[in-house]
Amino acid sequence: MFKEVKEFDFITIAEAKEIMEKIAKERQERAELLFETRRALKHLRTFAKLPADKAKELVEELMKLPQVPRKDIAVKLADIMPRVPDEVRIIYAKERFTLTPEQIQEILDIIDKYRI
């Protein structure tokens, strides 16, 4: 009963919420939602900080920066939307390089443009 992963991509919480809303709507028409589905949906609704289209735009803009080398980091930044430099440093704690204060501020400036 294992399912094969056919495609893999990092997505933001906002994008996951949008996908899950569609799935929940389809399933509700047939039967009541399972506990796990309701719980996942509640989590996504609670922690999504942007609409899906804005979150995707933010990830794309962050990916243009040289200090954001991978999509997973950009997605994490878009999900958490850090407000202070220390929050950015925590996201980069496992990376093999450190950011300068100017690079951190550049990331925060981009994120602030998308803040609701």
pLDDT at 102: 97
pLDDT at 30: 86
pLDDT at 74: 97
Give the whole-angstrom CA distance, residue 60 versus residue 67.
Answer: 13
pLDDT at 33: 86
Instruction: Give, for all 116 residues of the chain, the pLDDT tens digit.
Output: 567 888 889 999 999 999 999 989 988 888 888 899 899 999 999 999 999 999 999 999 999 999 999 999 999 999 999 999 999 999 999 999 889 999 999 999 999 999 97
Give the whole-angstrom CA distance, residue 6 versus residue 94.
Answer: 28
Q: Looking at residue 4, what DSSP letter applies?
A: -
Give which of 64, 54, 42 is closest to 14, Cα–Cα.
Answer: 54
pLDDT at 32: 87
In tens, the pLDDT along 40-58 reads 999 999 999 999 999 999 9
